A and B are shown apart, each in its own frame.
Chain A
Amino acid sequence: MLPESISELLKGLESKTFSSEEITRAYLDKIKQHNDTLNCFITVTEEQALAAAKASDQRRSEGKAGLIEGIPVAHKDLFCSTGVKTTCGSRMLENFIPPYESTVTGKFAEAGAVSLGKTNMDEFAMGSSNENSYYGPVKNPWNIECVPGGSSGGSAAAVAAGLCAAATGTDTGGSIRQPAAFCGITGLKPTYGRVSRLGMIAFASSLDQGGPMARTAEDTALLLNVMAGHDPKDSTSSTQAVEDYTASLNQDLSGTRIGLPKEYFSGNLDADMGKALEAAIKVYESLGASVEEISLPHTELSVPAYYVIAPAEASANLSRFDGVRYGHRCDSPKDLEDLYRRSRAEGFGAEVQRRILVGTYALSAGYFDAYYRQAQKIRRLIKEDFVRAFDHIDAILCPTTPSTAFKIGSKTDDPVQMYLEDIFTIPTSLAGLPAMALPCGEKGGMPVGMQLIGNYFNESKLLNMAHKFQLETDWHLRRPEL
């Protein structure tokens, strides 16, 4: 039986209760046992993992342990990893072996982590259910008839099922937080620019942000220490100084002002989920925090604005897949135009093609002002809503999703219905603010997630609030039966 959290695993490694090789083998065994059912991993790198674990044990014995020395983790399959296939959930990159390493996976390796493999995801991170993966849907370990959320569904399901100690994810409109909520784990989307995007296969560059997915807020803080920081090779990476995110975990919450946005607690929210959130609010009040209603009046426009901005950026980013330099190429093209068009039609799945088309339309002559510019203006209004709120509050507490994990296949026929799943996570993404998802209840055997939103670069406050909540409750300790 493996310990549950990174902090416990580190204690065991330090005290030589077990070695990194032993726990790596234990995780690899669990992956062998459950991956056929859950489909969390696209690639398992058994040989490399065991070699890395042995090297890690050697480093530890020489007194050269990194921050997460010997901890087995998994990486979302959109972080480029040198020499290891990186598919981004797409047929387009079925045989793509990157010639370079993403900054995030490089930092994990430098900190001593052992990578077990690459996790499944919605193709090019476009989706909220993991049903858009070319490599098949991921199953939710709490109920395999349900989706794990998306797009970082493989990472969330793998952490929840204990197939790795923690995982990386990326979040463009909710892709860390929504699957974390559906799978009952803790996930953090940092402030835009806090974590380097170098080597993250781009979806929507003004929104994409990598972040940690783990079992506890304490582990999440430790992982953010590993991931965060300026990267001169990412021109949008922030130069703001990085804090030690574990230092303030236990800070007293008395005097903390929590805002409850009334737009998030209205019609869209399931009643039982509302009750779970009320109970969470009571926990914070008992810890000395005060609560007040706030208004974020442009919330409803966030999904429409997002579904112009994100596809527009995606249509530009994905134009690099041309069947010439890398990725899928169609058989016997008759001319260059045919090569481009058939390679892309064969390489991209239905949702990716839909978004490329929407984005191309929104950016095309005659429509640019009505769609793209209008969406960018609404983006400012949404940001200003948050800026006004953070003038007098420290954090926002709200739901992560309108309901718990839904059944596989139940929303695939209606793209707009699927888009509305992200109504509570998209506004924060447009504003570039940090936000966390953590479990705060259960409904019908499925986890309920709450969301904490913080001010720019105030990840430490969110981690502090999440950690204090997890000291008072046991929702984060509950595990699905496999």
Chain B
Amino acid sequence: MTIQSDELVKIAYLAKLQIDADNTARLTRDLDQILNFVDQMKSVDTTQVEPLSNPLEMTQRLRKDEVTEINQRDAFQNIAPATEAGLYLVPKVIE
């Protein structure tokens, strides 16, 4: 096994996904199968190869530091699950 169930629990925590106890075994097996499959990558020596992140090797364009957008807070908050007085509502964070 490349991955153990306690590792899966840790990854799920990092990914902010609730994993039910009865799903842990199945997900661990799925992940293990996928990771074993992608392990084929290890068969190539790439010490001399530079990583490629953008297929066209473009760099980020810069733009002038000017305001181009208008304030659309109402439009954006209209689709939020819970808002009040222009703020997004979440459960109490500070006791």
Contact A238 B90 (CB under 8 A): no
Contact partner of B91 among A99, A207, A325, A334, CB < 8 A?
A334
Interface segment among A137-145, A303-311, A460-468: the answer is A303-311
Contact A374 B41 (CB under 8 A): yes
Tell me, yes or no, whether B71 is within 8 Å of chain A by CB.
no
Q: What are the residues of chain A within 8 A of B30 when measuring CB–CB?
A: 354, 415
Q: What are the residues of chain B within 8 A of A325 when measuring CB–CB?
A: 76, 80, 88
Tell me, yes or no, whether A377 is within 8 Å of chain B by CB.
yes
Question: Nearest residue in A to B89 (C-beta to C-beta)?
Answer: A324
Interface residues on B, range: 35 or more
Quick one: which of B44-76 are within 8 Å of A by CB?
Answer: 44, 46, 49-56, 58, 60-61, 63, 72, 75-76
Question: Nearest residue in A to B76 (C-beta to C-beta)?
Answer: A99
Contact B15 A356 (CB under 8 A): yes
Complex: A340 Cα to B16 Cα, angstroms: 6
Tell me, yes or no, whether A424 is within 8 Å of chain B by CB.
no
Distance (whole angstroms) from the CB of A171 to the closest CB of chain B: 13
Quick one: which of A193-240 are within 8 Å of B by CB?
Answer: 193, 206-207, 232, 235-236, 238
Q: What are the residues of chain A within 8 A of B15 when measuring CB–CB?
A: 315, 344, 356-357, 360
A378 and B55 in contact, given A354-B30, A357-B17, A361-B31 (Cβ under 8 angstroms): no
Interface segment among A60-68, A246-254, A379-387: the answer is A379-387
Contact A341 B91 (CB under 8 A): no
CB-defined A-B contacts under 8 Å, sample of 24: A97-B79, A99-B76, A191-B56, A206-B54, A298-B44, A300-B40, A308-B41, A324-B88, A326-B80, A326-B81, A329-B82, A336-B93, A353-B17, A354-B27, A357-B31, A358-B31, A358-B34, A361-B7, A361-B35, A376-B52, A380-B52, A381-B44, A383-B52, A416-B37
Contacts from B to A (Cβ < 8 Å): 3, 7-8, 11-12, 14-19, 27, 30-31, 33-35, 37-44, 46, 49-56, 58, 60-61, 63, 72, 75-76, 78-82, 88, 90-93
